Amino acid sequence: MKVFDEIVSLLEKKQVDFEVIEHPPAFTSEDASKIRGSSLKMGTKAMVLKTDKNFIMAILSAAKKIDSKKLRELSNSQSLRFATPEEVEKITNCKVGSVPPFQFYLI
């Protein structure tokens, strides 16, 4: 089952009201905001990162940038980097730019 279908199934099972908005691929939060016709603050982004110990996902407002120093502190890690496109796809089954802000996809 595709990640999208799993999310829809979960939301339906939990009886969550939601609306699916389909749009062409967007590679930046700014592009996605323009395509959706909403403010940047209304969006989120899910960033997959590699610490010295494991992979983590940071979910933040599309209007914000990651504070890598603070995230290293919060994750109790010495190193922090963005996961490679290959790592992201292996971990989430999604391509970079299409990772949903749902934690249960990380291993």
Asked if residue 6 has pLDDT above 80, the reply is yes
3-state SS, residue 51? strand
Q: List the domain boundaries for the chain.
A: 3-105
Asked if residue 4 has pLDDT above 90, the reply is no
User: What percent of the chain is modeled with pLDDT above 90?
Assistant: 63
| pLDDT (tens digit per residue) in 18-51 | 998 888 878 889 998 998 899 999 999 999 999 9
State pTM to two decimals: 0.80
Q: CA of 24: how far to CAs of 32, 35, 36, 70, in Å?
A: 9, 8, 10, 33
Asked if residue 105 has pLDDT above 80, the reply is no
Domain 3-105: CATH superfamily, name plus number = YbaK/aminoacyl-tRNA synthetase-associated domain (3.90.960.10)
d(CA 102, CA 92): 10
